[in-house]
Structure 1
Amino acid sequence: MIKGNARTKQITGRMRETLGKALGDKSMQRKGRNEQLRGKAHEMTGKAADRIRKRTKH
């Protein structure tokens, strides 16, 4: 569930960034890039939590 939400943020951010480029809107580009980075961070946090759960068997 967490990974899906993170992936959605990345895709939405990529779309926003691309639209910002097409429109020449630097603010939209920045917001899209930030959203992508938040999604990636969320995904990495979820993966780390999964690894910890496997090692501690919880």
Structure 2
Amino acid sequence: HEARFMDLEQRDKKKTNLIAKLDDDIKKINHEQIVINLLVQSDTSIPKSLINSKSQ
């Protein structure tokens, strides 16, 4: 039972690390999306119709 417990504990650590990495990746993606949105909003050289057609 001790070996099984150690194995489960090791798997939990791996899952915890993977979840933490996913959380970091999600934060990076959200940050990049905010930056992109701000750039698109502030860039008046891009016609609004072009922006709208890309998002559809």
TM range (shorter): 0.5 to 0.7
- Which of 1 and 2 has greater Rg? 2
RMSD: 1.8
Uncovered stretches (5+) of structure 1, i.e. residues with no partner? 1-22
Q: Percent identity?
A: 6
Normalised by the size of structure 2, how large is the TM-score?
0.59
- Matching residue of 1:10: none
Does residue 38 of the first structure (1) align with residue 42 of the second (2)? no
Instruction: Tell me the amino acid that sits aligned with residue 47 of structure 1.
Output: H
Normalised by the size of structure 1, how large is the TM-score?
0.57
Uncovered stretches (5+) of structure 2, i.e. residues with no partner? 43-56
Deviation of 1:42 (Å)? 0.3
Which runs of at least 4 in structure 1 moved beyond 4 Å after TM superposition?
A: none
Higher relative contact order (CA 8 A, sep 6+): 1
Equivalenced residues, count: 36
